[in-house]
Structure 1
Amino acid sequence: MTGYGLAATSELSTLLGRSISSARSSSYKARRAGVRVITVDARFTSQLCPDCGYTARNNRFSRDGFGCRMCGLAGPADHVAGINVRNRARLSVGTCQRARTCRLKADG
């Protein structure tokens, strides 16, 4: 995920289909281009609703699908996880105070 001159990667990216060398290469290329790289904890990012903050295993109703049981937000699970990784990165660098504020800034 990129934006605001930074790239966010998850610690789990190496376990979920990307090799360690690929993850290192991406970080190296980003740093070489002057982009700040932030590694965030990716646990529960595909189960956390970026809209209301509700986290539950059954929010991830299938391998590819996300549907919040609290507020009804729905979409591809990988996209939702990406939004949550981005929000955690922004929170860690202090560009916003809460995850919902991060989402509203980025998505309009």
Structure 2
Amino acid sequence: MPKFLAVYTMGGDALQRFRSLSKAEQDAIDSEGVPRWMAWEERHAAAIVHGGGMVGKTTRVSRDGIAPAVNTICGYLVVEADSAEAAARLFEDHPHLTVFPGDSIDIMPFVTEMRV
């Protein structure tokens, strides 16, 4: 079955707004969102190939060297589905979008698979 990379994104403005909330407000969002995220993962466990995770600050390696960078990626997950649309439908009610201040979840098919 085809595999898809799901990349959670959150722009700087959304993150700034979340961080500007009081600790109590952030905790309230977490106390609602974390159980809903776990329930989402349980509902879709059969499709999840790699649990992925949330990611922190970016360090970019380029021809110019190594330097701090900024992007909107805040996490990822790998799922299996019959098509990109089927993979995307798994995320329609995801707490990243419905509870947390996430911008989007980008779904990309793997076109090659590397073996390590």
Instruction: Output the TM-score relative to the length of structure 2.
Output: 0.29
Max Rg structure: 2
User: Which structure has the highest helix share of the two?
Assistant: 1
Instruction: Output the TM-score relative to the length of structure 1.
Output: 0.31
- Between 1 and 2, higher relative CO (CA 8 Å, sep ≥ 6) is seen in 2
User: Which structure has the highest strand share of the two?
Assistant: 2
